[in-house]
Amino acid sequence: MSPFVFNTTKSIQFGAGSVARLGELALAFMGSRVFLVTDPGMMATGIVDRAVTILEAAGIEVTLFSEVQADPPEAVIQTAAEIARLADVGGVIGLGGGSSLDVAKLVALLAVGKEDLKSVYGVGNAKGPRLPLFLVPTTSGTGSEVTPISIVTTGASEKMGVVSPVLLPDIALLDPELTYGLPPHVTAATGIDAMVHAIEAYASASANNNPLSRMLAIQALELMGPALLRAVQNGDDADARADMLLGSMLAGQAFANSPVAAVHALAYPLGGHFHIPHGLSNALVLPHVLRFNAVTAHKAYVDLAPHLFPELISLEGQERVAAFCDRLAALSADCGLPQSLRDMKITEDWLPKLAKDAMNQTRLLVNNPRPVTEADALAIYTAAF
């Protein structure tokens, strides 16, 4: 067995209605002043009001920051950290999708005042200490509540990452009821993203691909496979919502320790140039990257396929892998997601530029089970066109 390192969130608290415990937990870990990080979309759902009411009922004074945007820019993070520092809070709670959770992680670090944002970019540069930190996801996708990563937009569209175990929260509080109101297209895109996390983690060429990540990826796909379409079709399906939230967290634990690869690498330029949401970008290239990888990731996909689609157990070898890729594309279509770059109004003359940009994602491409050249990337985008 090869050596590996596996880090994850210390305490995971899962259950329908568990957000009711937020007050007592915050009081115990953070004291009587907390900083709550969320976004304007969440403010409209009533979930933020509910969280604030729960915290205040426990005698906690809440400083609310609701200015998080998708692909959060540096300035927003710095402003939030400054407000948290001035309010002298004892802890930070992130409530929302991946962007809110990513901002909350950095605020907990920067509000201490020992490190500044520019000095912590990269792997292992953030050392802490940080303030106590809880993350409460309201989408089933990013797994940010169990990943040691925050992505920040620097300048116009360039992205930088802060990667350090110090960003893992003290508690991930997972309440499926908070996801009931997610619209179908968001449920679909974030759900496919979570499936990609599990698939890419399982087949990752990373030296840190490990048995814990592979076990988590399998369990994640077993939960999410039967649940995604049901959650898309009926947002109040309690079992489907619970399975999606738990599955996306397990997939997050898997890829936090066995990193993702070419699906994400080819998805990023779509987000950068066309502001296509992360999950949808992944869905658009997913079957085409898997078909490309099938030569070298054959065994991984043969193993995984029946965990996501149990009926594929009746097929063997190449036939099973081909059906796996086809079924993933069909699932995405059944969920109502666009199926081609053309559907996204991307013109064919963009494809060489996208392929060139994908080559910059070396951090991700090194984990791909099959090496990807620029010509390969162009062929994949052409297939996805």
What does the alpha-carbon distance between residue 328 and residue 322 come to, in Å, rounded to a whole number? 10
The backbone torsions φ and ψ at residue 147, rounded to the nearest 5 degrees and listed phi first, read -110, 145
CB of 215 to Zn ion, least distance (A): 20
Hey, which residues between 324 and 363 contact Zn ion (CB under 5 A)?
Answer: none
Cα-based torsion angle of the residue sequence 13, 18, 22, 27 in order, rounded to the nearest 10 degrees: -70
CB of 255 to Zn ion, least distance (A): 8
What does the alpha-carbon distance between residue 235 and residue 242 come to, in Å, rounded to a whole number? 11
Closest to Zn ion by CB, 97 vs 369, is: 97
| 173: its two tokens | 């509080």
Closest to Zn ion by CB, 132 vs 148, is: 148
CB of 378 to Zn ion, least distance (A): 22
Residue sitting closest to Zn ion (CB): 193
Strand partners, 162: 122, 150
Closest to Zn ion by CB, 39 vs 193, is: 193
CB of 285 to Zn ion, least distance (A): 12
CB of 193 to Zn ion, least distance (A): 4
Q: How do 158-163 and 133-137 pair as beta strands?
A: unpaired
Strand partners, 161: 151
CB-based contact 29:171 (threshold 8 Å): yes
CB of 76 to Zn ion, least distance (A): 21
CB-based contact 252:147 (threshold 8 Å): yes
The backbone torsions φ and ψ at residue 238, rounded to the nearest 5 degrees and listed phi first, read -60, -40
R_g over Cα of the chain: 20
Closest to Zn ion by CB, 170 vs 193, is: 193
Closest to Zn ion by CB, 55 vs 196, is: 196
CB of 256 to Zn ion, least distance (A): 11
CB of 144 to Zn ion, least distance (A): 10
CA distance to 10, 58, 61, 223, 224, per residue, from 220 (Å): 19, 35, 37, 5, 6
In the block, residue with structure tokens 């040691």: 148
CB of 377 to Zn ion, least distance (A): 18
Closest to Zn ion by CB, 22 vs 254, is: 254
Tell me if 115 contacts Zn ion by CB under 5 A.
no
Strand partners, 149: 163
Hey, which residues between 176 and 215 contact Zn ion (CB under 5 A)?
Answer: 193
What does the alpha-carbon distance between residue 177 and residue 140 come to, in Å, rounded to a whole number? 11
| Residue span 3-22 as binding mask against Zn ion, x where in contact by CB under 5 A, dash where not | --------------------
CB of 197 to Zn ion, least distance (A): 6
Closest to Zn ion by CB, 91 vs 225, is: 225
What does the alpha-carbon distance between residue 2 and residue 223 come to, in Å, rounded to a whole number? 28
CA distance to 176, 305, 323, 330, per residue, from 326 (Å): 30, 11, 5, 6
CB-based contact 202:213 (threshold 8 Å): yes
Closest to Zn ion by CB, 177 vs 193, is: 193
Closest to Zn ion by CB, 91 vs 148, is: 148
What does the alpha-carbon distance between residue 225 and residue 216 come to, in Å, rounded to a whole number? 14
Q: Please, what is the end-to-end C-alpha distance for the chain in angstroms?
A: 41
Closest to Zn ion by CB, 54 vs 331, is: 331
Tell me which residues touch Zn ion (CB under 5 A).
Answer: 193
